[in-house]
Amino acid sequence: MSLQRNTSMFKGKHVEGSGSILANLDAKARKSFANRANNAVARKVEHEKELAFEKEMSKLRHHKYELKHHPVIIRQQHHSLLYWFFSASYAEIWQHLFPNKNKKN
């Protein structure tokens, strides 16, 4: 079951100067206003395009910089069993068995 809405009408007096801004202007002023509004919209669209282009260019510059200056990642080498028997130093074996917890990777 649905409830009906109150459909009361607002009653008021028509006041001169209310309503549309353009309704109170003469034809020449309306045309001038429309031209200024259209120019403002065109400038806004152009500005948004410039911002989007600049944002895209900054992304490309950042990506290009990252390609040139990629961070050096130090990876722990995994050696074969023969390396550990014959070539590894005592310090390296010690570091492998007891890793330093405070060391930042």
The answer to whether the beta carbons of residues 93 and 84 sit under 8 Å apart is: yes
Predicted pLDDT at 16: 61
Q: Which long-range contacts does 95-103 make (Cβ < 8 Å, 24+ apart)? A: none
pLDDT tens-place string over residues 8-67: 554 545 556 556 666 777 888 888 888 898 999 999 999 999 999 999 999 999 988 888
pLDDT tens-place string over residues 60-102: 999 888 888 877 666 666 777 777 778 888 888 888 888 877 6
Predicted pLDDT at 8: 57
∠63-56-43 over CA atoms, to 5°? Answer: 160
pLDDT at residue 3 tops 70? no
28, two tokens? 């020449």
Q: What percent of the chain has pLDDT over 70?
A: 70
Predicted pLDDT at 60: 93
Does the predicted model carry a pTM greater than 0.75?
no
CA atoms within 13 A on the CB side of 86: 4
